[in-house]
Structure 1
């Protein structure tokens, strides 16, 4: 049996001079939300490329969410099995 599940991601960016901030929100199928944040700073000698700052800050926000999801899954495994789960860094 196959089950189709979808997650919805929203991402917002704030550009302030040479700095870009990203805020991401992931809505899981059960309606719960996971949030992450990321940032990027442009070196003064680099050309102004807003898209690059967004890509870096956005990727970091998504990595923040990924770490939170791994921790959540780790905790749920331990809660269900009563045994320590494998380390998160795999």
Structure 2
């Protein structure tokens, strides 16, 4: 049986003249919310293009999110293996 699922990630930005902060939120099907953050700083010599800072801060938040998901999945897989080992 094939099961189709999807996730939606929300990323919001907070910016000032030198910094961009990104906050990512992912709601999993089990109701868990995974939150992550990323930030970027503009070098004084760089042009004031907010898009670049958003991309960097957003990418860093998504990397943090991916690392948290990998750790969560690893822990859950280990728990399931332990349950199977004790049940058998």
Q: How high is the TM-score relative to the length of structure 2?
A: 0.88
Report the number of matched residues.
82
Alignment correspondent of 2:13? 13
Report the structure, 1 or 2, having the larger helix content: 2
Work out whether 1:62 is the aligned partner of 2:62. Answer: yes
How big is the alpha-carbon RMSD for the aligned residues of Structure 1 and Structure 2?
Answer: 0.9
Question: 5+ residue gaps in structure 1?
Answer: 83-90
- Distance in 2 separating the partners of 1:29 and 1:51: 31
What residue is the counterpart of 1:29 in the other structure? 29
Which ranges of 4 or more aligned residues in structure 1 deviate by more than 3 Å? none
SS in 2 for 1:12: strand
C-alpha distance in 1 between matches for 2:22 and 2:58: 5
TM-score normalised to structure 1 length: 0.86
